[in-house]
Copies of this chain bind each other. A is one copy, B any other.
């Protein structure tokens, strides 16, 4: 892909939201910051979001490795595990980014997500989502309403304080979080 430069030292997290177009061949440019978050990998996995929200969810090999490790913690023949393997592994498209950072969405993916012309890429920490812009707008509105609720804020504050306390109390003695550079 075109050089990513050294913008935003590599911290492999999917942040922010970007819009891009689906061309006549069904190709979509992965936003450059997301390509950086993929850590140079060119293999993209995409599946229909489990919760039925109507978006696509996806990531690179690192994410799939995480899911693989996760699923092996569930009882092998349990309905839960089978459902997740079927949905995430069997259900995902295994796409390869081209040299300019694009992937070709399958008709199936376009259909289930109701995509048409333009898409929104939304960062989701370890993964990202692909939305139809209208659906995304509705989703965003609903989310910000929930976020503003006192319970939400309280839950955030509590969890945040837990983390803070753990660091302070020496659960991780003398350690602090920093951003790593490229090298």
Contact = CB atoms under 8 A, between A and B. Distances in A.
A20 interface: no
Interface string A63-96: 0111111110110010110111111011111101
Interface of A: 7-8, 10-17, 33, 43, 45, 48, 50-52, 61-62, 64-71, 73-74, 77, 79-80, 82-87, 89-94, 96, 122-125, 129, 139-140, 143-144, 146-148, 151-153, 155-156, 159-160, 162-164, 167, 171-181
Number of copies: 2
Contact of A94 (B33, B94, B152, B181): B33
Contact of A175 (B11, B14, B68, B148): B11
A94 B15 CA distance: 7
A76 to B, nearest CB: 10
B74 A159 contact: yes
Contacts of A179: 174-175
